[in-house]
């Protein structure tokens, strides 16, 4: 009897392990998208699957954000919550989606995510979800007011390649450095400002070393969820539907949630003494187009054929 009981317990334990999937976050919980998007999605999946799908969560403290794609493609982790620019060294396809326009419904119904998904299938991944912010997902934050002509002529602005077009349009030079070095670089005057999402300045206390939010903000922030393709193929049709249906709900929730996050953060930053400064009319009129073109061009430098195909598809659907 004892042997039978032990065997039953062993089988039960194995079944629990089989239902636990390793989820890798590109950010820690200080970034709002983790507690307010990724975690609610995981909880919703666990509930909708009656506990068949559970997650073991790791973050950049386990695998650095820019090194996370390969472990998920290889199956060491099964799910990845990230930004496309973080794995630009492998593929630029998801990073290019920051250039898309339209509403969440227009993007979803266009079929463009199916095109992207097929491209990622080639490297062993499925694109499960792509959540977008409203227009104005990114911004420039600076230590000193803008020039009389509303630009940043001669200044040094921290940014990654995705922001390069906008930074140069503003007359500044691009300085590349890890996110973790931004605060110190601002404090020491190594840089005069930085490009960043329109949320996260508050949590990282950048208001202590920079005083001005540049407007208008620009672009559409994207946060995709990827799943190992071999893992995906092993899910039952019912569980694939759970993962997909909950992802669609989460995308729509996030679109509204992030609007509130951005508005609340701006209000709190102004209360802490930051001010809003406006780009010059010439710069403001073209910042969105410059950002989108810069994203497409940066992405095409890595995978021209795929990006040209993707951009042509986006244009045909009125998304570029």
Q: With contact defined as beta carbons under 8 Å apart, do 169 and 146 qualify?
A: no
Same domain, 225 and 87: yes
Flag whether 268 is in a domain. no
Give me the residue label for tokens 């200044």: 155
Flag whether 314 is in a domain. no
Same domain, 152 and 252: no
Same domain, 151 and 280: yes
Same domain, 212 and 225: no
Flag whether 160 is in a domain. yes
Strand 54-58 to 138-142 pairing = unpaired
Q: Is the peptide bond before 86 cis (omega within 30 degrees of 0)?
A: no
The 3-state secondary structure of 157-190 reads EECCHHHHHHHHHCCCEEECCCHHHHHHHHHCCC
Same domain, 110 and 197: no
Same domain, 169 and 290: yes
Flag whether 122 is in a domain. yes
pLDDT at position 133 over 80:
yes
Task: Answer with the one of 207, 229, 260 that is the final residue of a domain.
Answer: 260
Flag whether 17 is in a domain. yes
The domain that contains 256 carries what CATH number? 3.40.190.170
Query: 299 CB contacts (<8 Å, ≥6 apart)?
Result: 92, 93, 95, 96, 99, 307
Query: Which pLDDT score is estimated for 159?
Result: 92
Q: Report phi then psi at 142, rounded to 5.
A: -135, 160
214-246 per-position pLDDT tens digit: 999 999 999 999 999 999 999 999 999 999 999
242-300 per-position pLDDT tens digit: 999 999 999 999 999 999 999 999 999 999 999 999 999 999 999 999 999 999 999 99
Same domain, 114 and 173: no
Could you give the CA distance from residue 238 to residue 256 in angstroms, rounded to a whole number?
Answer: 28
Residue whose C-alpha is closest to residue 290's, from 164, 178, 177: 164
Q: With contact defined as beta carbons under 8 Å apart, do 301 and 114 qualify?
A: no
Its domain, for residue 240, covers 2-134+221-260
CA 105 to each of CA 96, 112, 130: distance values in angstroms, whole numbers, following the listed order: 19, 12, 12
Q: With contact defined as beta carbons under 8 Å apart, do 295 and 95 qualify?
A: yes
Same domain, 23 and 158: no
Flag whether 309 is in a domain. no
Same domain, 76 and 7: yes
Q: How many domains does the chain have?
A: 2
Tell me what the pLDDT averaged over the chain comes to.
91
Flag whether 315 is in a domain. no
Flag whether 306 is in a domain. no
């Amino acid at each position: 009897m004892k042997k039978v009981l032990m065997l039953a317990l062993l089988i039960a334990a194995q079944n629990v392990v089989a239902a636990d999937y390793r989820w890798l976050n590109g950010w820690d919980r200080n970034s709002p998208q983790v507690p307010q998007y990724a975690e609610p999605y995981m909880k919703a999946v666990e509930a909708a699957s009656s506990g068949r799908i559970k997650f073991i969560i790791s973050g950049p403290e386990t695998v650095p954000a820019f090194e996370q794609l390969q472990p998920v493609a290889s199956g060491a982790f099964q799910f990845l919550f990230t930004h496309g620019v973080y794995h630009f060294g492998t593929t630029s396809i998801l990073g290019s989606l920051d250039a898309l326009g339209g509403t969440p419904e227009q993007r979803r119904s266009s079929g463009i995510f199916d095109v992207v998904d097929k491209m990622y299938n080639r490297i062993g991944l499925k694109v499960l979800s792509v959540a977008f912010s409203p227009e104005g997902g990114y911004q420039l934050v600076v230590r000193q007011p803008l020039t009389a002509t509303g630009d940043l002529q001669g200044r040094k602005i921290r940014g990654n390649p995705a922001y390069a077009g906008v930074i140069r349009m503003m007359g500044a030079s691009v300085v590349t450095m890890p996110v973790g070095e931004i605060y110190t670089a601002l404090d020491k005057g190594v840089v005069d400002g930085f490009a960043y999402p329109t949320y996260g300045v508050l949590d990282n206390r950048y208001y202590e070393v920079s005083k001005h939010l540049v407007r208008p903000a620009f672009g559409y922030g994207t946060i995709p969820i990827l799943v190992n393709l071999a893992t995906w193929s092993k899910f039952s049709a019912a569980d694939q539907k759970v993962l997909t249906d909950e992802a669609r709900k989460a995308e729509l929730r996030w679109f509204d949630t992030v609007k509130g996050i951005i508005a609340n953060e701006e209000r709190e930053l102004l209360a802490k003494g930051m001010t809003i400064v406006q780009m010059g009319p010439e710069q403001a009129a073209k910042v969105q187009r410059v950002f989108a073109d810069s994203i497409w061009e940066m992405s095409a430098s890595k995978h021209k054929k795929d990006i040209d195909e993707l951009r042509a598809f986006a244009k045909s659907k009125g998304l570029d």
